């Protein structure tokens, strides 16, 4: 198996699970400084203790270097998780999103195409739903109105992947992740930002005056969804209707799935749960809605469950307890 973004939050957990079940894993990461490099290095150190793991420090935007790894190692299946993350950061530094999320993804598609990959699974995002206000978000919904450049690049990934699947009969699966949290999580996400602020008696920013909902999904459920789909390369859908095309399936070996906890949680409930686990009240500053954000997310996971028999089920309380315990230990907070 080859995993891009192996030093990232989701990447590290996916690599560990693959190794635990006996797979050999090739990891790729550029160890970018988008957030604290020490955290990425600590994740990499953890997975590098395993004999079945080999690491290449390269940038997926370097097409020649990426092609060299694929040509030398010939991975059977690829999990593509490397990307420039962050919705609000895309307003400040849009060029890095084009380099990583567009050019980098094209390089991954080319590498898989020329090396006979049996299956490519790639990370998409709930951000593709954009202005769509129909809840829950269904994979059959159209996603033509993203509200951030990050969401637009993830939408682009989905249609780029479909073109390669169609042209080269390459099995490809896209996974739309919903607000992932858990141990080793990113420090720029709300669980880390809120936990750090509460412990330090600092103020947290709450957008749209708290009138927000998110489908918080625990990392173990995300990883299980990745592995369940990785083991099931898609085949052309015989029921695909070109006159009424379903965006989630195709006459090509291509599928799209949501992976979310299918339970939207009000942001103030999330904060209250975190306060209860930490044992301290948060200091809150209410702010208006950000133009790059949406009020709510909610995953319909019927397609995932029908295809794999799996749907996420970790409760917010259980997931946050594990996250806060890790946070206190790692940051000695």
Residues with catalytic roles: 150
CA-to-CA distance for 319 and 68, rounded, in angstroms? 39
- Of the candidates 220, 200, 204, the one whose C-alpha atom is nearest the C-alpha of residue 212 is 204
Measure the N-to-C terminal CA separation of the chain; round to a whole number of Å: 36
- Name the residue among 65, 69, 61 with its Cα closest to residue 100: 61
Helix (H) or strand (E) holding 331: helix 316-331
- Please give the Cα distance from 43 to 39 (Å, whole number): 6
Q: CB of 94 within 8 A of CB of 149?
A: yes
Is the backbone of residue 208 left (phi > 0), alpha (psi -120 to 50) or beta?
left
What are the CA-CA distances from residue 226 to residues 5, 80, 89, 120, 161 (Å)? 14, 10, 26, 11, 17
Cα maximum dimension of the chain? 58
């Amino acid at each position: 198996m080859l995993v891009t973004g192996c030093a990232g939050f989701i990447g590290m957990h996916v690599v560990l699970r693959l190794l635990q079940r006996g797979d050999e894993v090739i990891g790729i990461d550029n160890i970018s400084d988008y957030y604290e490099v020490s955290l990425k290095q600590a994740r990499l150190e953890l997975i590098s203790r395993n004999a079945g793991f080999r690491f290449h420090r390269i940038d997926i935007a370097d097409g020649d270097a990426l092609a060299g790894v694929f040509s030398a190692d010939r991975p059977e299946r690829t999990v593509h998780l490397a990307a420039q993350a962050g919705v609000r950061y895309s307003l400040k530094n849009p060029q890095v999103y084009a380099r990583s999320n567009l050019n980098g993804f094209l390089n991954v598609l080319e590498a898989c195409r020329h090396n006979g990959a049996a299956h490519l699974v790639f990370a998409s995002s709930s951000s593709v739903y954009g202005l769509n206000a129909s809840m829950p978000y269904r994979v059959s919904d159209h996603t033509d109105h993203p509200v951030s450049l990050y969401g637009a690049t993830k939408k682009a990934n989905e249609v780029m992947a479909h073109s390669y699947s169609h042209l080269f009969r390459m099995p490809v699966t896209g996974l739309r992740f919903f607000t992932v949290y858990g141990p080793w999580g990113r420090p720029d996400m709300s669980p880390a930002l809120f936990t750090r602020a509460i412990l330090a008696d600092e103020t947290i920013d709450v957008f749209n005056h708290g009138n927000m909902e998110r489908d918080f999904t625990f990392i173990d459920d995300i990883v299980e969804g990745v592995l369940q789909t990785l083991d099931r390369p898609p085949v052309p859908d015989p029921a695909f209707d070109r006159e009424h095309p379903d965006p989630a399936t195709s006459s090509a070996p291509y599928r799209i799935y949501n992976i979310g906890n299918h339970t939207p949680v009000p942001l103030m409930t999330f904060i209250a749960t975190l306060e209860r686990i930490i044992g301290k009240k948060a200091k809150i500053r209410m702010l208006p809605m950000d133009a790059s954000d949406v009020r709510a997310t909610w995953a319909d996971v019927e397609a995932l469950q029908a295809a794999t028999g799996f749907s996420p089920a970790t409760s917010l309380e259980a997931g946050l307890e594990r996250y806060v315990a890790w946070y206190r230990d790692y940051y000695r907070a």
